[in-house]
Amino acid sequence: MLTATLYESRSLLAAACGYILIIGFLVGLLLPAFKTLNIQAYLTGSFAALIGGSALGRDTPLFAVYMALELYGSFFLLLFGGVLGYAAGASIARNIEDGTIDIILARPVSRARFYLEKWVAMLLGGTFIIATSLLTAFVCTQVFPNATLHWRWFLLANLDVAAMLFLVVGMGSFVSAAMSRGRAAGGVATLVVVFWYLCQTFGTAGDRLSFLKYLGPYYYAPSSQVITSEQWTEPWRLLVPVAAGLILGIAGLAYFQRRDITS
Amino acid sequence: MAVGTDGAVVDVAHLVKTYPGKEPVRAVRDISLRVERGEIFGFLGPNGAGKTTTIRCLLDVLRPSAGKISIFGLDARRDALAIHSRLGYLPGDVRLPGDLSAKQFLNRYSRLAGSEPVLLGRLLERFEIPLHRKLRAFSKGMRQMLLIIQAFMCDPELVILDEPTGGLDPLGQRSFDEFLLEEARRGLTVFMSSHILGEVERTCHRVAVIREGELVAVETIDRLRERAGQLVIVEFADGVDEAELRNVPGVQAVEHIEDGSYHVKLAGSIDPVIKALARHTIRRLAVEEAPLEEVFLKFYARDGKGAGGLPSAAEIRPE
């Protein structure tokens, strides 16, 4: 089931990984042009703040800064979290909708195993996305002159996005366990991700809405900021999306164990 | 193996399934039935009667609102994994993954079964399907054959079939019927819902009829045949009083077809009719078994009145 689930989501995951490759290579290719820009001014601009930019570290490499802005900002949550959320949301509900869950559960396969394999498959999907990011960054540093990274901060940023994706998968699994239509469940999970993204952008847009930023995972796992400012403050915050993902995943399992499977 | 020598394989006691909602739907209402080892048990009823709901309760895909289900003497919910390792299932409504080949599909589901597909070779000889073709290119009949193969390939002790021959051509249906009877002789127990009454008549030892969630009959096919009675087609050379035919013991109905020709529907022994007819000059006489289909359809009827001498539901509840 684990491999079957990954196989069923292969188009979405491949699209996400392809997009990462394209962004990474574009940043590498355009690096000479970026050198003429005033990056400090850009980072303190309102748009960069919306997507999670922050003050520049003392010697943050330019390639790292643009990777942070173009890939690891809150866009990462919106794009790749959205894709993964859709895949996770559809993963169980799709089998309910097409009736194949009946054949699977008529085998010696418990509901818990079914659910957990789906969950793990989606976590693996998230791992593929992160691995592609790391690989893209590594290849870019080998291929493009002046494309350098401070790997310590870059890896910590990836830890942040891993925590966000963990939350997304937990939420998607919960939605999928509760619904019976694949596309609808995927759509709901994606909408939740979009809501989280909007919480981040509106939450940083002004003081009156600042409470919103606490509702989205980016506040607790500010991946882009880690790269640009080369600081990792309050690492305990990372536990918030991880714990929330775990709680949602377990709640989904509990519900799935009890529910009638009706399409 | 003889039917029923080792006790009940499926034992359903007072099963109730209500779908909750603003207006709760009582899909199954207090059903009790037993299926014996080696038996082919037909489960019939009109659309929406509760057949698939009952089957999905047996599989623990739906959770009963009340009642108890035992399979192989084990609790259908608590011991689901142990039961499912000995069971094959063919769903009535499934959309197969089109991007898999038949071989990939069968591999996937035999791996899940955790046992070798020992009957696969035999099944593929009987139900020929292109193993390497993608399922999206399969016809409806081919998809059905594939589902039949996956249900039987791991040599289960019990198969639960939800309308197994929908989409099969007459040759495929016959092939399936023969296979089912062979497997039942080997000791396989079959619980099968079907709309194809001829198939039920050919293969099943016993049938249950469910209507609006309630069991209205559990009968052996032989008993149903008796109940269906016989049709005597008679053409008299001399005149005959229709009332005389009606008064013969066992005669349920008399229909005047044309001059001197009658259809006499009868239940029970034919002897009184023969004796009554012997008093007249007969030009033509034929005796046919009444079609079982008529009996089923009477059970299906909403008013539940079994015309032609069928007993009421209360009289024919399972013992």
Residue B87 has its nearest CB partner, among A1, A106, A258, at A106
Mean pLDDT of all residues in chain B? Answer: 87
Confidence class for position B260, pLDDT limits 50, 70, 90: confident
Four-point Cα dihedral A201, A207, A208, A212, nearest 10: 40
Cα–Cα nearest to A190, from A88, A60, A118, A40 = A88
Confidence class for position B305, pLDDT limits 50, 70, 90: very low
* CB of B60 less than 8 A from some CB of A: yes
Distance from CA of B235 to the nearest CA of A (A): 56
Determine, yes or no, domain membership for A263: no
Say whether the ipTM exceeds 0.85. no
| pLDDT for B319 | 33
Identify whether residues B193 and B277 lie together within a single domain: no
Q: Do B59 and A262 touch (CB under 8 A)?
A: no
Residue A105 has its nearest CB partner, among B19, B59, B82, at B59
Q: Do B113 and A108 touch (CB under 8 A)?
A: yes
Residue B63 has its nearest CB partner, among A102, A107, A260, at A260
> Mean pLDDT throughout A46-69?
71
Report how far residue A193's alpha carbon sits from residue A19's, in angstroms, rounded to the nearest whole number.
18
Residue of chain A whose alpha carbon sits nearest to that of B95: A98
Report how far residue B280's alpha carbon sits from residue B282's, in angstroms, rounded to the nearest whole number.
6
Identify whether residues B173 and B234 lie together within a single domain: no
**Residue B313 pLDDT more than 70?**
no
Q: Do A104 and B81 touch (CB under 8 A)?
A: no
Residues constituting chain A:
263
**Residue A14 pLDDT more than 80?**
yes
Distance from the Cα of residue B196 to its chain's centroid: 8
From chain A, the residues in CB contact with B89 under 8 A are: 102-103, 106
**Residue B2 pLDDT more than 90?**
no
Copy the structure tokens of residue A109.
């396969």
| pLDDT for A40 | 66
| pLDDT for A88 | 96
Distance from CA of A175 to the nearest CA of B (A): 19
Identify whether residues B267 and B159 lie together within a single domain: no
Identify whether residues B242 and B260 lie together within a single domain: yes
Confidence class for position A113, pLDDT limits 50, 70, 90: very high
Sheet holding B230-236, edge to edge: B251-258, B261-266, B230-236, B282-289
* CB of B82 less than 8 A from some CB of A: yes
Identify whether residues B53 and B109 lie together within a single domain: yes
**Residue A111 pLDDT more than 60?**
yes
Identify whether residues B185 and B265 lie together within a single domain: no
Q: Do B112 and A260 touch (CB under 8 A)?
A: no
Domain residues for the domain of B284 are 230-289
**Residue B271 pLDDT more than 70?**
yes
CATH code where residue B52 lies: 3.40.50.300
Determine, yes or no, domain membership for B44: yes
DSSP one-letter string for chain A: -HHHHHHHTHHHHHHHHHHHHHHHHHHHHHHHHHTTS-HHHHHHSHHHHHTT--PPPTT--HHHHHHHHHTSSHHHIIIIIHHHHHHHHHHHHHHHHHSHHHHHHTSS--HHHHHHHHHHHHHHHHHHHHHHHHHHHHHHHHHSTT----HHHHHHHHHHHHHHHHHHHHHHHHHHHH-S-HHHHHHHHHHHHHHHHHHHHHHHH-GGGGGGGGTSGGGT--HHHHHHH-----GGGGHHHHHHHHHHHHHHHHHHHHS----
CATH code where residue B269 lies: 3.30.70.260
Report how far residue A97's alpha carbon sits from residue B97's, in angstroms, rounded to the nearest whole number.
12
Copy the structure tokens of residue B290.
């009444």
**Residue B315 pLDDT more than 50?**
no
Distance from CA of B86 to the nearest CA of A (A): 9
Q: Do B63 and A258 touch (CB under 8 A)?
A: yes
Residue A98 has its nearest CB partner, among B56, B95, B112, at B95
Determine, yes or no, domain membership for B214: yes
Identify whether residues B273 and B163 lie together within a single domain: no
* CB of B131 less than 8 A from some CB of A: no
> By the 8 A CB rule, do A162 and A238 touch?
no
Half-sphere exposure of A241 (CA within 13 A, CB side): 28
Identify whether residues B138 and B234 lie together within a single domain: no
Domain residues for the domain of A42 are 2-258
Q: Do A4 and B60 touch (CB under 8 A)?
A: no
Q: What pairing do the DSSP bridges indicate for beta strands B206-211 and B189-193?
A: unpaired
Identify whether residues B238 and B271 lie together within a single domain: yes
Of A231-245, B88-102, B262-276, the least confident: B262-276
Confidence class for position A36, pLDDT limits 50, 70, 90: confident
Mean pLDDT of all residues in chain A? Answer: 88
Determine, yes or no, domain membership for A206: yes
Confidence class for position A54, pLDDT limits 50, 70, 90: low
Identify whether residues B217 and B247 lie together within a single domain: no
Confidence class for position A235, pLDDT limits 50, 70, 90: confident
Determine, yes or no, domain membership for B318: no
Residue of chain A whose alpha carbon sits nearest to that of B154: A107
Report how far residue B121's alpha carbon sits from residue B112's, in angstroms, rounded to the nearest whole number.
19
Determine, yes or no, domain membership for B68: yes
Cα–Cα nearest to B86, from B68, B74, B69 = B74
Confidence class for position B1, pLDDT limits 50, 70, 90: very low
| pLDDT for A263 | 72
What is the per-residue pLDDT across B76-120, written as a single tens digit (0 to 9) for each? 999 999 999 999 999 988 999 999 999 999 999 998 888 889 999
What is the percent of chain A with per-residue pLDDT over 70, rounded to a whole number? 92
Cα–Cα nearest to B198, from B245, B240, B165 = B165
> By the 8 A CB rule, do A89 and A172 touch?
yes
Distances (CA, A) of A111 to A88, A107, A201, B318: 16, 11, 38, 33
| pLDDT for B279 | 87
Identify whether residues B96 and B240 lie together within a single domain: no
* CB of B114 less than 8 A from some CB of A: yes
Report how far residue B124's alpha carbon sits from residue B121's, in angstroms, rounded to the nearest whole number.
5
Confidence class for position A59, pLDDT limits 50, 70, 90: confident
Determine, yes or no, domain membership for B300: no
| pLDDT for A233 | 81
Confidence class for position B309, pLDDT limits 50, 70, 90: very low
From chain B, the residues in CB contact with A110 under 8 A are: 80-81
Of A105-119, A189-203, B284-298, the least confident: B284-298
Q: Do A109 and B160 touch (CB under 8 A)?
A: no
Sheet holding B66-71, edge to edge: B25-36, B8-19, B66-71, B74-75
Determine, yes or no, domain membership for A50: yes
Determine, yes or no, domain membership for A244: yes
Cα–Cα nearest to B1, from B205, B231, B301, B275 = B205
What is the per-residue pLDDT across B131-171, written as a single tens digit (0 to 9) for each? 999 999 999 999 999 999 999 999 999 999 999 988 899 89
More confident residue, B72 or B224: B72
| pLDDT for A228 | 83
**Residue B214 pLDDT more than 90?**
yes
| pLDDT for A50 | 55
Determine, yes or no, domain membership for B217: yes
Determine, yes or no, domain membership for B2: no
**Residue B316 pLDDT more than 50?**
no
More confident residue, A29 or A56: A29
Determine, yes or no, domain membership for A103: yes
**Residue A256 pLDDT more than 70?**
yes
**Residue B306 pLDDT more than 60?**
no
**Structure-token match 């980016």, residue found:** A218
- Give the number of A-B residue pairs with CB atoms closer than 8 Å: 69
Cα–Cα nearest to B97, from B44, B52, B150, B46 = B150
* CB of B113 less than 8 A from some CB of A: yes
| pLDDT for B221 | 85
| pLDDT for B165 | 87
Number of domains in chain B: 2
Identify whether residues B112 and B93 lie together within a single domain: yes
Determine, yes or no, domain membership for B69: yes
Mutation site, B108, B154, B162, interface A, largest A CB count within 10 A? B108
Q: Which of B178, B205, B225 corresponds to the end of one domain?
A: B225
| pLDDT for B239 | 76
Q: Do B61 and A98 touch (CB under 8 A)?
A: no
Number of domains in chain A: 1
From chain B, the residues in CB contact with A95 under 8 A are: none
Query: Which of A58-72, A235-249, B267-281 has the highest average model confidence (pLDDT)?
Result: A235-249
**Residue B10 pLDDT more than 60?**
yes
**Residue A53 pLDDT more than 60?**
no
List all residues of chain B from 140 to 159 with a beta carbon under 8 Å from chain A: 150
Distance from CA of A258 to the nearest CA of B (A): 8
Distance from the Cα of residue B79 to its chain's centroid: 27
From its phi and psi, is residue B96 left (phi > 0), alpha (psi between -120 and 50) or beta?
A: beta
